[in-house]
Amino acid sequence: MSPVPPPIRGRPDRWRELTPELAERAIETVKNALPFFTAGTPIVHHAPHGIHVDVPVMYLSFAVDRIHYNPETKTPAPKGLPPESMVAEVNPEEVRERVQALLSELSVLSGAEFRAEDCWVVPVAWKSFIILHVRVSADGKELIPDYGLTEEVRRHGV
């Protein structure tokens, strides 16, 4: 008889426990955290057609997400489209200060998505652009850092 391979862990049955109240708690958690968000030092990526600038959004020394920043318009870009710019140079401190000022203009949207990583994702908007996706624990009580971005921020010494 041939050996039986071990099973692969399936998705948790979390969907049975999800309620609108948990989503609302996640939204409230992000609303309560929003005043404590700060702009980190921009990370400039060089691409074949120019540069694009990401500004980490920090909370208690952890990055929660990145804002795609357009150095030509000096505004955030919507999620999903990191703008490439032909601007030769950017002043990181000027970009950080601009994004820090913009953080006071953000609003937490009244909806949450649930992801396979067992967490809520709450969208945050600047004007009509969704510019942040903040992850919150399944119980809606804790922010979940973007650990990859946090490591990138620490690697760059920013």
| Each residue's pLDDT tens digit, 46-103 | 878 789 899 999 999 999 999 999 999 999 999 998 788 887 788 999 999 999 999 9
Lowest mean pLDDT across 5-14, 23-32, 42-51, 102-111: 5-14
pLDDT confidence bin for 7, thresholds 50/70/90: confident
Q: Which two tokens stand for residue 145?
A: 């850092």
Average pLDDT over residues 108-124: 95
Q: Is the pLDDT of residue 15 over 70?
A: no
Q: Kindly tell me the number of DSSP H helices and DSSP E strands found in the chain.
A: 3, 10
Average pLDDT over the chain, rounded to an integer: 91
Question: By the 8 A CB rule, do 70 and 90 touch?
Answer: no
pTM of the model: 0.87
Residue 45 has pLDDT above 70, yes or no: yes
Chain-centre distance of CA 49, in angstroms?
25
Q: What is the pLDDT of residue 50?
A: 85
**Cβ burial, residue 55 (10 Å; 0-12/13-18/19+):** buried
- Is the model's pLDDT at 158 over the cut of 60? no
Nearest to residue 150, comparing CAs of 72, 15, 56, 46?
56
